Structure 1
Amino acid sequence: MQSWYYSKNGEQRGPVSLDELRSLVSSGGLNLQTDLGWKEGMTNWEPLGKIPTLLESAAPSSDLAAAPDSFNPYAAPTTSPDNLRASYSGGSLGEIEPGSVPLEVMNCIKRSIELTKRHFKIILPIGVVYLLLSMATGAVEGFVSRMVTGPVAEQGDMAFHPLLIPINLISAIVSVVLGAGLTRAALNIVSGKEAKVEHLFGETGKIVNIVAASFVFYIMVFIGLILLVVPGIYIAIRCSFFMTAIVDRNLGPIEALKYSYRITTNNTLSLFGLGIMSMLIVLAGVLALLIGLVFAIPVVTLLVPLAYRFLQFGPNALRDGATE
């Protein structure tokens, strides 16, 4: 049975079965005009009123029957979910066919530099809070570990203690929360939305999906690396946007990995080149007496969601009108 996803008031929900989605429409729980639906195989999210399969057994609700004549359930949506589509002055960008447009690496870098300059006043505090919390978490983990394993560690042996398990688990959860929050802030910046320090803590509800997807991702990469290295690198590149997809679309673990694999079609080498350029940017920041890292790291951080948006919507996602 194929899973469906729907968006209500800008918030993505699902998965649900086709019958469940039809029931929501029939009961008036969803708006045929403004709410969207999507399943795997569809190019774009569509207004529910434009999905024939959905309407075959869905009777209009009483609210729709009483609507004024000017209400047209088959009209194009007046709004789109903020977390699903980048917006621009003319409406919403439609997703391109995966692999139909080569990733423009240099234009992505140029756009990232522009956005970093433009939003540096908010990027800096977000980065500082992220760094301080990451360092604090690592320091606490290290301190407690030394307290627990000190006598054994001094002998130079690999120490293990049951108390280290919850400590390491808490540290990992904090890292996932901060990473997802940073991804949200970066997505907001490249999509023309407001970014706040509070966004670092706003994705806690997606921890389970991110952890599960990470587990599957690293297993696949590990197996690929065993198979002559190249397959591992290939898998790592093709599935690298799984966390971004989870944060952006609230997808499940497998759906996020599949979505990342789909949108990166025909762009493996371009993404590899983007990775090389990212390393060179960081290296340039290091050579600039480390001070350059204050600018280089935000540029590299924004490159990920910029590439993600480009693979979704094509070159238009890099326009001023598309991300402001």
Structure 2
Amino acid sequence: MEPVTKPDPAPDELDYYAPPRGESGPSGPGRDVEADVVPFDLGCIVAATWSVFKRRLWPSVGIAWTAYILVLAFGQVQSLVTGRLSPADRPTYYFVYFAFFFGGSVFSTWISLGQNLAFLAIARGEEAPNDRLFQGWPFVLTSLLAGLVLVGLMAGVALIVLAPAALLAEVAGRSILPVVLGGVVAMVAIAYVALRTWQFAYFIVDRNLGVMDSLRASWWATGRGPGTVLLLYLTVFAANLAGLLCFVVGLIFSIPFTTLLLAVGYLSLTGQPLRPLEAGPDSPAE
């Protein structure tokens, strides 16, 4: 896997983290190749997402809410079953509880990966994206392991920051100030790691990368613009908050829109074209 920072690649080399290159720049013959590639800029990503969302509104709404309802239904079944168990029968209680916990993790990961596949298909203008909702099973184990590695990485970052802070607190007569400052620094560091690795699931389903390769690919790719990544996530949060405040009804559309926004963001980050089904005045190609 070639890093993003490789200087001046040869024309025949494939660097799939970088946008396609034209021979004569944006206004020359190479523009046809790059026509549907969205620049990694928040305004461009939002505009392109809105363009696709308007054309493919109902598939987006249907897929997002089908995934949400399935995960919610599994959680309700878990609550009903575990709620009827007697805590006095501890072996049975803990066995069923952890079975549902593990099964819920696998189920939600499967649906989430399928949703990623479906929304990538929507963003690319492919037919029948709903068929992909249940096609994430081959990637479940890789995604779960990558998630565990990421959690371990975040815990390691927190430990590296908090251990010296705790030592300083003891030296300073058990002062709470070093611990508070260390906690703030640890949260910022963990948030930064999360932002840089947020694309690993897309790299798994789209590129079939392994555990470490998917995390490494996300780290290299997001190095192009971590600030834009942060703004993208803040936009997702703001849009869903607005949907929630609109008497919750707005979530019907904000959740599918923000899910599509993340998929378009991934395609923009990796320089892949949207290739909409129908070119029109609102198409990214225009």
How many angstroms does 1:322 deviate by? 6.9
Residue 54 (structure 2) pairs with residue 117 (structure 1): yes
Which residue among 242, 248, 254 is the counterpart of 2:206?
248
How many angstroms does 1:165 deviate by? 1.9
| Larger RCO: 1 or 2 (CA < 8 Å, sep 6+) | 2
C-alpha distance in structure 2 between counterparts of 1:317 and 1:198, whole Å: 19
Kindly provide the amino acid, as one letter, of the partner of residue 223 in structure 1: G
Q: Are the aligned partners of 1:189 and 1:323 in contact in 2 as well (CA < 8 Å)?
A: no
Kindly provide the amino acid, as one letter, of the partner of residue 109 in structure 1: V
Residue 264 (structure 2) pairs with residue 306 (structure 1): yes
CA separation of 1:274 and 1:239: change in aligned 2, threshold 3 A: same
Q: Are the aligned partners of 2:42 and 2:232 in contact in 1 as well (CA < 8 Å)?
A: yes
Q: Are the aligned partners of 1:184 and 1:247 in contact in 2 as well (CA < 8 Å)?
A: yes
Kindly provide the amino acid, as one letter, of the partner of residue 257 in structure 2: V
Of residues 164-173 and 176-185 in structure 1, the stretch that sits farther from structure 2 once superposed is 164-173
Q: Are the aligned partners of 2:154 and 2:193 in contact in 1 as well (CA < 8 Å)?
A: yes
How many angstroms does 1:162 deviate by? 2.1
Aligned to 1:239: 197
Q: Are the aligned partners of 1:184 and 1:248 in contact in 2 as well (CA < 8 Å)?
A: yes
Q: Of Structure 1 and Structure 2, which has the larger fraction of its residues in helix?
A: 2
CA separation of 1:286 and 1:179: change in aligned 2, threshold 3 A: same
Please report the TM-score for the alignment, with normalisation by the length of structure 2.
Answer: 0.72
Kindly provide the amino acid, as one letter, of the partner of residue 207 in structure 1: V
Kindly provide the amino acid, as one letter, of the partner of residue 130 in structure 1: A
How many angstroms does 1:160 deviate by? 5.8
Kindly provide the amino acid, as one letter, of the partner of residue 217 in structure 1: L
* Superimposed CA distance per residue, residues 87-125 of structure 1 (whole angstroms, 9 cap, x where no aligned partner): xx94588999xxxx7x31122112222222211121222
Which residue among 128, 147, 150 is the counterpart of 1:217?
150
Of residues 219-228 and 205-214 in structure 1, the stretch that sits farther from structure 2 once superposed is 219-228
Q: Are the aligned partners of 1:213 and 1:254 in contact in 2 as well (CA < 8 Å)?
A: yes
**Secondary structure of the structure 2 residue equivalent to 1:162:** helix
| Structure 2 unpaired stretches of 5+ | 21-30, 162-184
C-alpha distance in structure 1 between counterparts of 2:225 and 2:258, whole Å: 18
Residue 148 (structure 2) pairs with residue 198 (structure 1): no
**Secondary structure of the structure 1 residue equivalent to 2:271:** helix
What is the count of residue pairs matched by the alignment?
A: 242
CA separation of 1:307 and 1:128: change in aligned 2, threshold 3 A: closer
| Structure 1 unpaired stretches of 5+ | 1-38, 52-80, 154-158
C-alpha distance in structure 2 between counterparts of 1:111 and 1:94, whole Å: 9
C-alpha distance in structure 1 between counterparts of 2:120 and 2:238, whole Å: 23
C-alpha distance in structure 2 between counterparts of 1:210 and 1:121, whole Å: 28
**Secondary structure of the structure 1 residue equivalent to 2:209:** coil
Which residue among 84, 107, 125 is the counterpart of 1:174?
107
How many angstroms does 1:223 deviate by? 2.9
Q: Of Structure 1 and Structure 2, which has the larger fraction of its residues in strand?
A: 1
Q: Are the aligned partners of 2:36 and 2:284 in contact in 1 as well (CA < 8 Å)?
A: no
Residue 226 (structure 2) pairs with residue 283 (structure 1): no
- 1:73-84 equivalences under 5 Å are none
How many angstroms does 1:266 deviate by? 3.8
Aligned CA RMSD, in angstroms, stands at: 3.8
How many angstroms does 1:252 deviate by? 0.3
Which residue among 244, 258, 265 is the counterpart of 2:223?
265
C-alpha distance in structure 2 between counterparts of 1:292 and 1:141, whole Å: 28
Aligned to 1:40: 2
How many angstroms does 1:219 deviate by? 1.6
Kindly provide the amino acid, as one letter, of the partner of residue 262 in structure 1: W
Please report the TM-score for the alignment, with normalisation by the length of structure 1.
Answer: 0.64
